[in-house]
Every structure is written in structure tokens, then in C-alpha cells.
């Protein structure tokens, strides 16, 4: 349902741009780098003067972040089994591809040459966490696709003709989503598929891992601040 809702929001905003009054649109390109639960890069294409009487702009963005995927030992328990072989030398890496559509509105407040804009819109993120258990003969990926909403504040300072610097602060919130790894899938309502049973000493008797355990095991995007700096031209 959330995926359908997200698709509808994206389509509605895109249609607003397409059906805007016909006149010459100004556009820009932004390239940024910073932090988004790890080192991150992002690019965006924006269109200004979409409406003749409303100073609103629309922007398509896409980014990639290198992030800590989570706890290898717990991820193995939740998605595969309680075998501990290779846990002591487990290797891990994670990435998030994120995409969004923003509406931007200029603020009246300025500080010298710096202009400020508020922005916000729908978000989509693809999380991929890879775990490799050296000596344990096991490796697998954990995948999650999330829809959400995000927004923030952007400062733009002219540096030259048609060239500006950008400082952007934002935060994205992603709705709970299914988490898949190996052949197990965990859902927010715990209608899970092939959920693993806990077998280690000290675990509750007859305990089966839940969605809450899966979210503790891997760092699927949920609430993520973003700090970016870059250029716009």
C-alpha cells in the first residue's frame, strides 16, 4: 500500500511540472557530497520558473551512500542460522541508493549574498547490506526497499556567473518495510516468511525471530539526517 501511495505522489508531482503553464523553464544541476549514515554523494536536476506567479521549483535527486549494514552476528542468526563459524572475522559492507522529488520554495530571509530555500517531497531508498563470514563458508545480502518523506533547508551562495555553492541540511523518514535476506523475509506486521528460530544458549524457549530483531540486525533506513555541501550550475 505504501509503495502504491509513494508512486501516486511521485506521479502527481511530476504531472504538476508537466502540466504547468507553457513558458521557458530555467534549469540547474547540483552536485553534492557529505554524510548520510556514511559518506554520500548526490546529484540533482532542478527546474525553476515552473509557474508564472508562484516562486516554486521542482527537483529530481539521486544519491549513493556507503553505510554500516549492521551487526553480522545477529544478522546471521536472524536470516540464516545460529552457527557461529566465521563470526570473529566477519566482513561487511553496505550501500543505500536513494531517489527523491523535491518542491523548493525560497525564504524571504537572506544573509548577505546567501539565499535560503526550504524543500521537501517523497523519497525512495534501496538498502543492500552484504555479510561475509570468513572461515564460516557463508555470505549473503540483506535487501530492503523503502518509501518515505524528506525535507530540509538549503543555502545557496553565488560564486560566479551561473555558478553557486550549496550547503544543505535535511532529514528523511522511511516507513517500515519488508526486509529480505537469504531465504527469510520479515514484515512490519510479523507475517514473516521462513523466520528463524533462536537456538543459542540463553535464548527464550521456542522463540522465533521477529521484525524487531531484523531491524536491530541491519541498518535499514528509517530516520536519517543528511548534511551535504556542493556546487550548483
CA 213, CA 78: separation in Å to the nearest integer?
7
C-alpha cell read off for 80 = 540464516
pLDDT at 24 over 70: no
Q: Where are the beta strands (DSSP E) in the chain?
A: 26-35, 39-48, 57-67, 90-111, 114-133, 138-160, 163-174, 179-181, 184-186, 223-232
CB 76 within 8 A of CB 83: yes
Dist. CA 163–CA 30, nearest whole Å: 10
Distance CA(221)–CA(148), nearest Å, equals: 10
Per-residue model confidence as pLDDT tens digits over 38-87: 999 999 999 998 888 889 999 999 999 999 999 999 999 999 987 777 78
Closest CA to 61 of 39, 76, 40: 40
pLDDT value for 9: 46
Characterize the bridge pairing of strands 179-181 and 138-160. antiparallel
Q: Residue 12 — very low, low, confident or very high, per pLDDT cuts 50/70/90?
A: very low
Helix (H) or strand (E) holding 9: helix 2-18
State percent of the chain over pLDDT 70: 88
pLDDT band for 17, please (50, 70, 90 cuts).
Answer: very low
Distance CA 155, CA 172 (A): 18
Q: State yes or no: pLDDT of 202 exceeds 80.
A: no
Domains contained in the chain, CATH given: 2-232 (2.40.160.70)
Amino acid at each position: 500500500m505504501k509503495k502504491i501511495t509513494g508512486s501516486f505522489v511521485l506521479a502527481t508531482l511530476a504531472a504538476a511540472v508537466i502540466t504547468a503553464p507553457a513558458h521557458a523553464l530555467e534549469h540547474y544541476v547540483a552536485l553534492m557530497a557529505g554524510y548520510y549514515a556514511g559518506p554520500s554523494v548526490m546529484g540533482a536536476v532542478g527546474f525553476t520558473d515552473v509557474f508564472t506567479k508562484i516562486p516554486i521549483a521542482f527537483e529530481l535527486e539521486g544519491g549513493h551512500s556507503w553505510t554500516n549494514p549492521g551487526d553480522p552476528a545477529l544478522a546471521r542468526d536472524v536470516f540464516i542460522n545460529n552457527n557461529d563459524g566465521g563470526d570473529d572475522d566477519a566482513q561487511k559492507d553496505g550501500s543505500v541508493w536513494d531517489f527523491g522529488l523535491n518542491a523548493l520554495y525560497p525564504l524571504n530571509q537572506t544573509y548577505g549574498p546567501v539565499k535560503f530555500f526550504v524543500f521537501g517531497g517523497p523519497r525512495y531508498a534501496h538498502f543492500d547490506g552484504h555479510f561475509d563470514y570468513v572461515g564460516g563458508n557463508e555470505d549473503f545480502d540483506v535487501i530492503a526497499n523503502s518509501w518515505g518523506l524528506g525535507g530540509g533547508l538549503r543555502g545557496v551562495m553565488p560564486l560566479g556567473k551561473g555558478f553557486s555553492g550549496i550547503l544543505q541540511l535535511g532529514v528523511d523518514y522511511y516507513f517500515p518495510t519488508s526486509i529480505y535476506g537469504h531465504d527469510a523475509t520479515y514484515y512490519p506486521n510479523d507475517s514473516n516468511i521462513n523466520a528463524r528460530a533462536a537456538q543459542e544458549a540463553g535464548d527464550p524457549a521456542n522463540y522465533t525471530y521477529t521484525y524487531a530483531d531484523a531491524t536491530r540486525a541491519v541498518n535499514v533506513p528509517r530516520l536519517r539526517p543528511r548534511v551535504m555541501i556542493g556546487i550548483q550550475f
